[in-house]
Every structure is written in C-alpha cells, then in structure tokens.
Chain A
C-alpha cells in the first residue's frame, strides 16, 4: 500500500506542472495580459511597456512561469480588477461553490444510486427501459438549458422557488441549482450503478449467497451493493472536481456569487490574474480529488494495490 501511495504522489507532480504550464501558456502566449488593464481603450505603447516591466512580462517566458509557480506555492494570486487580493475573493467565493457542490453530490448519491439499483435489479422491465431513456435525455440536454428551463418553470411560472439566489446562498436556496448542476452526472451515476449491479448480479458470490438461503435484502445490501458501488464511489469522487469547475454555468443562471461568478467577472473585465488564479485552484482541487479517489480505490479494492 505504501509503495502504491508513493507512486501515485510522484505521478501527480508532472501532471500538476504540466497543467499549470498549459494554463500559463494559454493566457500568456495566446493572449495579451496587459490588454485589459487600460479599460476598453487601446493602451498607449509607453504605458503598456511600463506595465509589462512592472509585472515582469518583459522577462523570458520560462522565468515568468517559475515566478507564477513560486507565487502559487506562497499563496499569492495577485490582485483583482478592483484592487482586492484574489485570495480575498476566493475566501468569499469558495464556501458558496463548495455548498453548491455538496448539494449536487448528495443528489447524485441519493437519486443516482437508488435509481441505478432499482433499474439494475429489474433489467429489461419497463421501469428499466424508461429510466434508461430518461437518463439519455437528461445527459443530452446541456446543463444551461436544464437550468434555464427549471428556473422558468419553478421560479417564474409556478413560483415554487426564487428565480435567483441571494448572496448568502444558504443550503435551502441551493437545492434547485444543486439539482441542475448534478443532473448530467446524476444520469450517468444511474447508468453506471445499473451496469455494475446487473453485471455483478450474475456473479458467483451472489449465487452462493442466494444458495445459502440468505434473505434477498441481505444479498442485495451486503453482497451485491458493496461490490457494485466501487466504480460508482470512485466516479462520484472524481466528479467533485469536475462539478466545481462546471458550477460556473449553474452559478451564472441562478446568479450565485460563487467561484463561477468571480471567474465570469474576471473574464468580463479581462483580469487575467483573477481568471488564472481561480482556474489554477480548481485544477488543484480536481487533481487532489483524483488522488484521494485512487487511494480510496486501493482501500476498497485490494486488486488495485497489488497490481
């Protein structure tokens, strides 16, 4: 197990360096970081040169990248367009997005797994076909369309919820946005659980358990679920990072002042430091989630750690 952990940690280092380098190159080579600092007008050459010198943009690219990497490690993400440090924006934005993600994950676990187990145990019945078709439809409709439709129906037409979320963004207000954020993954979790259950239902240990005369309930919860949920758990784990990154769409629809909102403001005002800072942190979250899931995988499934 120890060797496995060390190997995964070592594998993460090049991925981290590569991903940050990729983000860095996207911004600094493809675009012009000082373009947004002069507002809508074109910068005059002398000001631009002065700004470049001030931010160290006249140095070679590799040196800039090292500075950027050094700043990440010391927790310095630069300043936003309004002079606030980006870290302060993060401190106010991340709790909101984390709450939203928690709601989404809960939906995935509860609805996704229940539907998956129900359909997996009744493979080929009308319930199974219906849910399967429904998941395809949910997967096909882009999140922002689902979000806008739910906002229109629940918020505007029927008045069940407030169409937009207040700045506090309490758990209660985040239920519908969380469902929207979770929708696509939810459908996928359902399919994943269904396949896994249906496959394992034919396995020898389930047949043995049934032959022993165990009650059906015990066979399902103790023998079938425990083994079938391993891929589901790991999928949900890695999905945490993807959900936090994808929350930008949901946050835009419901006007939630989370990470997505700050990112969007950063883009509108062409503030590279805000955008790069937030994206870097989100990528880090994604990588850490991946790492934890792989370790969890090794704990849950011994075949992995002895491989």
Chain B
C-alpha cells in the first residue's frame, strides 16, 4: 500500500523525513541533495488546489487562444529568464564543441612537446602548456566531449531506469513497492565516492562505459525515490479517479494521465543530476579510478597538473574553470526550470 503521507509531516525544505526510507540520500553530495530537494517541492498534492491562473491568462483564453498548458507556461517563463538563457547558451556551446571540437581547435590533444612543458601562454597556445608539454587549450576543448558524453549517457540511463522502476512501484504499490524501497535503501547506504573506489578500482577497461555503468548503478535510486513520490501524488488527483471510472486501463491511466503530471520533478532532478555526474566523473578521474589516459578528461588533466601547482598553475586553473562553469550551467538550468514549472511562484 502506498501510504498517502499527510501534508503536515512534510517539514518545509526538509531533506528527508524518516518516512521516506531508512537511509538518507546524502551520500551523493550536496549538489544531489539540492536536486532532490528541488524536485520534491514540485510534487503538488491534490488538496493544494489547481494552480491559479492570473487574470492575463484568463483574458487570453477568452480571446479564443487555446488554454495554455503547464509546459507552455513554463516555456514562456523560461524565455524571459536571463539565468536560463545564459545556462542554455553555455550548454549549447558545450554540446557544439563536443560534437565538433575541430571547429575551434587546430591541434590534436595528444600531440605534446616535452620541451615546452609548463610554459605559459604564447601566440597560438592561449592557455599555455601542461606538465607533459601538451597544449592546455586543445585538451580543455576535447575534455568537454568526454564530460558531456558521460553526463548525458549516465543521466539517460539513470532517468530511464529510475523513473520506470520508481513510477511502477508508486503506481502499483504493494509488495513490489516495499521491496524496491528496501533496495533503494541499500544503495543509499554506500556513499558514492566510496562505491566508485571499490567498483572502479577492480575494473580494468579503458573506456567510458564502466564509469557510466557505475553512475547508473548507484544513481538510479535517487530518481526512483523522486519518481515514486511524484506518481503517488499524481495518483490521488480526481482526474485519475475519473479516468478509472470511465474504464481506462492501467497502462492508459499511467501513460496518459499520470506520466505528464508526474514528470516535472524527474526532469528537474535529472537536469541537476547531469551536472553532478560530470563533477563525479572528474572527481573519480582525479582519484585515479575513473577514466584513464589516453582519454582526455578534465579530471585527469587536473589530477596531472596538481603536482606542478607551484610552477604551472594555469594547467590546473583552465580545466578546473571549464569544469566549474559546466556544472554550474546545468545546476542553474535545473534551478530555472524548477522555478518555471512551479505554479506557486507565478
């Protein structure tokens, strides 16, 4: 039985109340805590009432325009939000240079001249050289590809696995739901960096797949918990009862009525999670268990530059800056999307 949590137990802004499970999901780090907290505030219980439309919206509706959905409202909101525009432009640029890194670089990231090791900025080499004499600018540009690939694939896997499992558990309830909740508890019990150390230290592959697989393995419970809560909330709405009364099948109720209304928190959490996965990949690579050379990754470059921090800080600062801006862009994007999807803020 899915327990309909009475709203008075939901402490404002609480990361977790003991009802949500036996183990807190703090093991993924602060950014993920932020993501889940933001996602949870989007779950709207039925007794909260429908979002109030402003007078302007009603006037437009009366003027013969089609009633705007939550999504078109959100899109209008987003287009006017400068934070969203900046974050989206940064992300589009990242995607562009990961698809066509050759468009703004003219060298190979693996071509290094040891004689130029640790030298600073020069014409043609704006970011200088790292400890092995490789061009830092080229490596930073090519590093984006790895980070974006890992981030997108890991998020895709986590979002699919987590939302399907969590959604089904929330919808059907019963024994399957209890089992899934206990399993998510088990995964939450292992702090993510530690799990990465244990699992990835025994894997010898040189590709990005073990890292992505590991993130999906330890990441899905987060989304699953969010999706479950969101589906349970959506299930209590009157239109679901109505659809059932009209004889709609399980799959129709789930796909047509619940999914569109339960997907918002998942999208917000997944967007922010994408940023945290990029940061996690860099952290694991920094610790030497994530990606391995010759893969070009910001984490590897930062790790390689840290011994030369006195003589060549630029080799450390550029990839760190790129990493920080990327993660920030995804978190800002998720934050902006959350605000746009929250009817209470209109």
Give chain A's interface residues, CB within 8 Å of chain B.
8, 11-12, 14-16, 18-19, 22-23, 26-27, 30-32, 136-137, 139-145, 148-149, 151-152, 156, 184-185, 187-188, 191-192, 194-196, 199-200, 230-231, 234-235, 238-239, 241-242, 245-246, 248-249, 252-253, 263-264, 267-268, 270, 272, 275-276, 279, 282-283, 286-287, 290, 293-294, 297-298, 301, 303-304, 307
Give Cα distance in the complex from A263 to B52, angstroms.
54
Cβ-based interface call for B34 (8 A): yes
Cβ-based interface call for B289 (8 A): yes
Q: Establish whether residues B19 and A307, one from each chain, have CB atoms under 8 Å apart when the complex forms.
A: yes
Q: Which of B11, B26, B199, B309 contacts A239 (CB 8 A)?
A: B26
The 7 closest A-B pairs by CB, nearest first: A31-B202, A195-B13, A245-B191, A18-B186, A199-B12, A184-B30, A231-B14
Q: Which of A16, A139, A267, A276 contacts B30 (CB 8 A)?
A: A139
Q: How far is the CB of B13 from chain A (nearest CB, A)?
A: 3
Q: Establish whether residues A195 and B12, one from each chain, have CB atoms under 8 Å apart when the complex forms.
A: yes
- Taking CB atoms, residues of chain A closer than 8 Å to B18 are 8, 294, 297-298, 304
Q: How far is the CB of A288 from chain B (nearest CB, A)?
A: 11
Chief secondary structure at chain B's binding surface:
helix
Q: Establish whether residues A303 and B8, one from each chain, have CB atoms under 8 Å apart when the complex forms.
A: yes
Cβ-based interface call for B198 (8 A): yes
Cβ-based interface call for B287 (8 A): yes
In the complex, 16 of the A-B residue pairs with CB atoms within 8 angstroms, ordered by the A residue number, are A11-B185, A14-B186, A18-B189, A27-B202, A31-B202, A136-B332, A137-B328, A140-B31, A144-B286, A151-B309, A191-B13, A234-B14, A234-B15, A235-B26, A283-B190, A298-B18
- Taking CB atoms, residues of chain A closer than 8 Å to B15 are 192, 231, 234-235, 238
Chief secondary structure at chain A's binding surface:
helix
- Taking CB atoms, residues of chain B closer than 8 Å to A263 are 194, 197
Task: Select from chain A the residue with minimum beta-carbon distance to B182.
Answer: A14
Q: Establish whether residues A140 and B29, one from each chain, have CB atoms under 8 Å apart when the complex forms.
A: no
- Taking CB atoms, residues of chain A closer than 8 Å to B288 are 264, 267-268
**Known contacts A30-B202, A279-B194: A142-B282 contact under CB 8 Å:** yes
Q: Establish whether residues B23 and A15, one from each chain, have CB atoms under 8 Å apart when the complex forms.
A: yes
Q: Establish whether residues A245 and B27, one from each chain, have CB atoms under 8 Å apart when the complex forms.
A: yes
Give Cα distance in the complex from A26 to B190, angstroms.
12
Q: How far is the CB of A76 from chain B (nearest CB, A)?
A: 19
Q: Establish whether residues B189 and A283, one from each chain, have CB atoms under 8 Å apart when the complex forms.
A: yes
- Taking CB atoms, residues of chain A closer than 8 Å to B297 are none
Give Cα distance in the complex from A253 to B15, angstroms.
29
Chain B, 1-44, contact with A by CB distance < 8 Å: what is the 0/1 string? Answer: 00000001101111111110011101101110110010000000
Which bucket holds chain B's interface residue count? 35 or more
Q: Establish whether residues B197 and A184, one from each chain, have CB atoms under 8 Å apart when the complex forms.
A: no
Q: Establish whether residues A279 and B197, one from each chain, have CB atoms under 8 Å apart when the complex forms.
A: yes
Q: How far is the CB of B19 from chain A (nearest CB, A)?
A: 7
Give Cα distance in the complex from A241 to B29, angstroms.
11
Q: Establish whether residues A148 and B302, one from each chain, have CB atoms under 8 Å apart when the complex forms.
A: yes
Q: Establish whether residues B22 and A26, one from each chain, have CB atoms under 8 Å apart when the complex forms.
A: no
**Known contacts A187-B30, A279-B198: A22-B13 contact under CB 8 Å:** no
- Taking CB atoms, residues of chain A closer than 8 Å to B198 are 23, 26-27, 275-276, 279
Give Cα distance in the complex from A31 to B210, angstroms.
12
Q: How far is the CB of B300 from chain A (nearest CB, A)?
A: 12
Task: Select from chain A the residue with minimum beta-carbon distance to B18.
Answer: A294
Q: Which of A23, A249, A253 contacts B193 (CB 8 A)?
A: A249
Q: How far is the CB of A284 from chain B (nearest CB, A)?
A: 9
Q: Establish whether residues B313 and A152, one from each chain, have CB atoms under 8 Å apart when the complex forms.
A: yes
Q: Establish whether residues B302 and A144, one from each chain, have CB atoms under 8 Å apart when the complex forms.
A: yes
- Taking CB atoms, residues of chain A closer than 8 Å to B279 are 140, 142
Give Cα distance in the complex from A23 to B193, angstroms.
13
Q: Establish whether residues B287 and A264, one from each chain, have CB atoms under 8 Å apart when the complex forms.
A: yes
Of B229-237, B257-265, B316-324, the one with at least 4 CB within 8 A of chain A: B316-324
Q: Which of A12, A238, A272, A301 contacts B26 (CB 8 A)?
A: A238
Q: Which of A140, A194, A195 contacts B328 (CB 8 A)?
A: A140
Q: How far is the CB of A244 from chain B (nearest CB, A)?
A: 8
Cβ-based interface call for B173 (8 A): no
Task: Select from chain A the residue with minimum beta-carbon distance to B13.
Answer: A195
Give Cα distance in the complex from A267 to B200, angstroms.
10
Give Cα distance in the complex from A203 to B289, angstroms.
49
Q: How far is the CB of B221 from chain A (nearest CB, A)?
A: 12
